[in-house]
Structure 1
Amino acid sequence: MFLPVEEQAAKRSRGKLDSIIFDLDGTLWNSVDTVLLAWNSILKKQEKQQLSREDLEATMGLQMNEISRKLFPALSESERGQLVKECSEVENVFLAKQGGRLYENVEQVLEKLSQRYRLYIVSNCQEGYIEAFYKYHDLEKYFGDFENPGRTGLSKGGNINLVIERNNLSSPVYVGDTEGDLKAAKFAGIPFVYASFGFGQVNEYDEAIDSFEDLLKIFR
């Protein structure tokens, strides 16, 4: 039986819950359709086999080097690296112009949460991806900081710790949808809220939500 997530945060840091750190894909939005268009535009130019929606969904939560090995196993490491670099650059352009699909009531919930807590994003994405999310959906105003391995080269857990240290957070929690998100929260020593509507399956968590709006029930 888990303690309520606010009590978990207080127990670990001896302070009142002060902040919420979010994963992006599968937690705040689903960008697969736009990303698929971007990547397939590059693959078509290079006369390579097109990806399916299922191909991309199977890589959610992974870092770019892991994604490249999973999607393009027949290529050499250098070829994979160059291809993913090109796809990622075009992906950022597509996302800034077309956006992704926000989960229901995301902005309304963020607005309410931001009145009580400091909000952040840590995602396993390339540099420019979170900025594209901000640009199209105009949500930057709700977040105090963000981080990703494209800028730091760190693991997700390492980037969570970086955001915690950089912003002097005393009692944060992490909200995500994959096993990797759970492991990252454990690495950082903070409670984990599982977004069951996302891409992953997680059996261990401090709290679970079936919709983004459920966060308002947890963080009252």
Structure 2
Amino acid sequence: MDSIIFDLDGTIWDPIDTVLEAWNSRVKEHDQITKELTRTDFEGTMGLQMDDISKKLFPYLTEEVRGHVITECLNTEQGYLKKRGGTLFPNVEDVLSKLSKKYELYIVSNCQDGYIESFYEFHNLDNYFGDFENPGRTGLSKGENINLIIERNNLSNPVYIGDTEGDLNAARYAGIPFIYAKYGFGQVSEYDEVIEKFDELLNLF
């Protein structure tokens, strides 16, 4: 193994409380949206691309209105994340520091352009990662973005770590081993390795 590619939400951090506050600050301005979003609402969207998230959260809105609302929410979200960040899982920085001495580290997440940069900016963890990718920049699926990272960085034997069935499917699409972050937001049908907490990665590698 020469490298580790990470999912972000539910694997490295939990951003939901910050994102929830940002989104609710905007949705309350729209009369067509009759209730605030909850943490449970967001937990049910983890691993999905933004178009699927918008349909799941606001199925009663027209496509045009939904697109407008989502754009407002995402723009607000980035400002909140840059100022407040999210909640890192225990010992994340220590583990990343140790892993980065032996392996190349990367992030592939189903997020909008600028989201990973906001994560980097608040938590100052960008120095541990060599590259990242997301559909907000490429318009591609998570599996295709994993392949972009592999090709762009000439990786020969990477693994992918994530917490949802979508992460499993992306790793299988890319033809690389999948490590299940069981402490995250989702459940998966199979995996090659499993960790109950982030620092168990040091036992695997």
TM-score, normalization by structure 2: 0.98
CA distance in 2, matches of 1:78, 1:116: 48
Report the AA paired with residue 143 of structure 2: G
Unaligned runs of 5+ in 1: 1-16
Offset of 1:137 from its aligned partner?
0.3
CA distance in 2, matches of 1:83, 1:150: 17
2:69 alignment partner, one of 70, 74, 83: 83
1:74 match: secondary structure: coil
Report the equivalent of 1:29: 13
Report the AA paired with residue 121 of structure 2: K
Report the equivalent of 1:122: 108
1:61 match: secondary structure: coil
**How large is the Cα RMSD of the aligned pairs?**
0.7
CA distance in 2, matches of 1:104, 1:26: 12
**Per-residue Cα deviation, 1:120-160 (whole angstroms, up to 9, x for no partner):** 00000001110000000000000000000000000000000
Within a 5 Å distance, the mapping from 1:91-170 to structure 2 comes to 91-170=77-156
2:44 alignment partner, one of 54, 58, 62: 58
TM-score, normalization by structure 1: 0.91
Within a 5 Å distance, the mapping from 1:196-211 to structure 2 comes to 196-211=182-197
CA distance in 1, matches of 2:107, 2:50: 18
2:159 match: secondary structure: strand
Report the AA paired with residue 36 of structure 1: L
1:82 match: secondary structure: helix
Report the AA paired with residue 29 of structure 1: W
Matched, 1:213 2:199: yes
CA distance in 1, matches of 2:6, 2:78: 20
Unaligned runs of 5+ in 2: none
1:46 alignment partner, one of 11, 18, 30: 30
Q: Which runs of 4+ in 1 moved over 3 A?
A: none
Report the equivalent of 2:171: 185
Offset of 1:63 from its aligned partner?
0.3
Report the AA paired with residue 76 of structure 1: T
More divergent stretch after superposition (132-141 vs 48-57)? 48-57
**Per-residue Cα deviation, 1:17-75 (whole angstroms, up to 9, x for no partner):** 10000000000000000000000000112243210110111101100000000000011
CA distance in 2, matches of 1:78, 1:64: 15
**How many corresponding residue pairs?**
203
1:45 match: secondary structure: coil
